């Protein structure tokens, strides 16, 4: 990351994980012995600490109301902009529908598993355990005719 | 009807539940045609969302056919195939008026932060979700959008949460280096992701770094042949 950004840090860091980030696994992937403060959320930490000064941290991961030990000092001292909200879907739909219609986006390509509703418990088990390359399961009720 | 039923952490099952009914004049009853399991549903599944009650049906990424309408619904008719945004929004409160449909003040009056969300615990209003054969959709004139002719319902269902959530996150300019921590489904469409300006494809001008333990990082950019069935498929 530093190499790509000439040591300055990224322009935008997105925390797409949220409260259940598994710090140890991600640390292994990064190949570094980063030490996390207990109770902190690794993805948000990394986003704040690896974005460049004046950069944007965007939070889309799911958080409950209380998350502790966010390095807020770095947010202030680096002059960061923090963006966060749940998407307001209806507002974005007209643009996104156009992107799908003109082929810029191909969202259905993300669907990895098509599971009859009756097998919903298998769906959760497989997705939760990340078995079989499960990225996006869609459930199909028996009453669905289209 | 058949519906997913939450029984406690890591315990969900398929069950028979009563059909949903119109309880408010702006409601619709929708027969579900697609319903995704979202990464965020796994937070519910694992018992990490407060006030997730046993007996709840999850599911907030829904497409379906309008079966029944309350007397005040103007914009839909029976038989419309709609995509249903995950936000439940009244369309009239001060937040909805600003386009902040995720922060509706009416659909979840118990809370001060988030608005109502289908199937996302009582902290998000206690609405049953769409991992079922039928779902009650409140404020049916506001959220549900008729799927445009020719659009695959598989694409439409991805517009109920995944795509808009990734899109809203962006705020990205050409030339930016963007680091994504956690590549869920939406991050893996980065190759086709348009910029926040909505003016076409910027992603070739952006350096992306994805940090994740998800299989998404190793998936091809356009996994057109990656559809697999965990169990025999019904359509
Ligand atoms: Zn979702
Ligand atoms: Zn509202």
Choice between A44 and B54, residue whose per-residue pLDDT is larger = B54
Give the pLDDT of residue B174.
62
Give the pLDDT of residue B190.
46
**Nearest C-alpha in B relative to A107:** B155
Q: Which tokens in the block code for residue B36?
A: 């995704």
Cα distance from N-terminal residue to C-terminal residue, chain B: 19
Per-residue pLDDT, averaged over A36-47, amounts to 61
Spell out which residues of chain A touch residue B4, defining contact as CB-CB under 8 Å: 117, 120, 139
Per-residue pLDDT, averaged over A60-81, amounts to 74
Spell out which residues of chain A touch residue B157, defining contact as CB-CB under 8 Å: 138
Give the pLDDT of residue B83.
98
Give the pLDDT of residue B65.
98
pLDDT tier at B213, thresholds 50, 70, 90: low
Instruction: Quickly tell me which residue has 């998350």 as its tokens.
Output: A67
Could you tell me what percent of chain B has a pLDDT over 70?
74
SS3 per residue for chain A: CCCCCCCCCEEEEEECCECCCCHHHHHHHHCCCCCCCCCCCHHHHHHHHHEEEEEEEEECCECCCCCCCCCHHHHHHCCCEEEECCCCHHHHHHHHHHHHHCCCCCHHHHCCEEEEHHHHHHHHHHHHCCHHHCCCEEEECCCCCC
pLDDT tier at B11, thresholds 50, 70, 90: very high
Choice between B171 and B193, residue whose per-residue pLDDT is larger = B171
State whether A96 and B33 contact (CB < 8 Å): no
> At B6, which helix (H) or strand (E)?
strand B2-8
* Domain boundary assignment for chain A: 10-85, 89-145
Answer yes or no: is pLDDT of B225 > 60: no
**Mutation site, A110, A112, A126, interface B, largest B CB count within 10 A:** A110
Per-residue pLDDT, averaged over B11-32, amounts to 98
- Best CA proximity match to B57, nearest among B2, B138, B97: B2
Which range of A140-144, B30-34, B37-41 scores highest in mean pLDDT? It is B30-34
Give the pLDDT of residue B204.
42
State whether B40 and A62 contact (CB < 8 Å): yes
pLDDT tier at B153, thresholds 50, 70, 90: very high
Instruction: Quickly tell me which residue has 């808009």 as its tokens.
Output: B164
Q: pTM value?
A: 0.79
Average pLDDT, chain B: 81
Choice between A118 and B174, residue whose per-residue pLDDT is larger = A118
Q: What is the pLDDT of residues A72-101, one digit of tens each?
A: 888 888 888 887 777 889 998 998 999 899
B5 Cβ neighbours under 8 A, 6+ residues apart:
B12, B13, B14, B15, B17, B55, B56, B57
A118 touches chain B (CB under 8 A): yes
3-state secondary structure of B126: coil
Distances (CA, A) of A76 to A49, A71, B177, B181: 12, 9, 21, 21
B199 Cβ neighbours under 8 A, 6+ residues apart:
none
Per-residue pLDDT, averaged over B40-67, amounts to 95
Average pLDDT, chain A: 77
Q: What is the CA(B38)–ligand 1 centre distance, in A?
A: 4
For residue A127, report the phi and psi dihedrals to the nearest 5 degrees: -70, -45
- Best CA proximity match to B159, nearest among A110, A143, A16: A110
pLDDT tier at B160, thresholds 50, 70, 90: very high
pLDDT tier at B191, thresholds 50, 70, 90: very low
State whether B164 and A11 contact (CB < 8 Å): no
Q: What is the pLDDT of residues B166-189, one digit of tens each?
A: 777 655 666 677 777 765 555 544
Q: What is the pLDDT of residues B88-102, one digit of tens each?
A: 999 999 999 999 998
Work out the burial of residue A87: count CB atoms within 10 Å of its CB; fewer than 13 is exposed, 13-18 middle, 19 or more buried: buried
Residues A122, A118, B80, A112, Cα dihedral to 10°: 30
State whether A146 and B81 contact (CB < 8 Å): yes
Q: What is the pLDDT of residues B195-204, one digit of tens each?
A: 333 333 444 4
State whether A46 and B211 contact (CB < 8 Å): yes
């Amino acid at each position: 990351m530093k190499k790509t950004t000439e040591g300055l840090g990224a322009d935008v860091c997105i925390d797409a994980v949220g409260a259940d980030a598994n710090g140890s696994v991600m640390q292994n992937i990064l190949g570094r012995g980063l030490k996390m403060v207990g109770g902190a959320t690794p993805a948000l930490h990394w986003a704040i600490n690896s974005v460049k000064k004046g950069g944007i941290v965007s939070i889309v991961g799911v958080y409950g109301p209380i998350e502790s030990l966010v390095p807020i000092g770095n947010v202030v001292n680096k002059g960061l902009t923090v963006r966060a909200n749940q998407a307001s879907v209806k507002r974005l739909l007209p643009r996104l529908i156009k992107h799908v219609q003109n082929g810029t986006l191909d969202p259905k390509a993300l669907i990895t598993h098509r599971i009859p509703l009756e097998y919903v418990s298998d769906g959760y088990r497989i997705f939760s355990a990340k078995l079989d390359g499960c990225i996006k399961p869609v459930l199909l009720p028996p009453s669905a005719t289209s | 009807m058949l519906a997913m039923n939450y029984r406690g952490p890591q315990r969900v099952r398929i069950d028979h539940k009563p059909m949903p009914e119109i309880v408010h004049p702006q409601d619709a009853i929708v027969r579900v045609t697609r319903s995704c399991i979202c990464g965020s549903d796994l937070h519910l599944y694992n018992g990490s969302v407060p006030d997730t009650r046993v007996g709840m049906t999850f599911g907030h990424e829904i497409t379906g056919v309008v079966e029944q309408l309350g007397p005040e619904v103007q914009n839909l008719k029976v038989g419309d195939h709609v995509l249903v945004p995950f936000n439940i929004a009244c369309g009239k409160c001060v937040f909805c008026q600003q386009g902040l449909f995720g922060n509706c003040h009416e659909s979840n009056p118990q809370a001060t932060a988030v608005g109502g969300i289908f199937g996302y615990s009582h902290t998000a209003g206690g609405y049953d979700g769409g991992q079922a054969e039928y779902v009650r959709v409140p404020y049916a004139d506001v959220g549900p959008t008729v799927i445009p002719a020719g659009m695959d319902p598989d694409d439409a269902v991805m517009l109920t949460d995944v795509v808009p959530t990734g899109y809203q996150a962006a705020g990205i300019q050409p030339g930016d280096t963007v680091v994504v921590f956690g590549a869920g489904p939406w991050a893996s469409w980065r190759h086709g992701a348009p910029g926040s300006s909505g003016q076409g494809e910027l992603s070739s001008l952006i350096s992306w770094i994805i940090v994740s333990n998800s299989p998404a990082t190793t998936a091809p950019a356009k996994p057109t042949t990656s559809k697999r069935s965990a169990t025999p498929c019904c359509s």
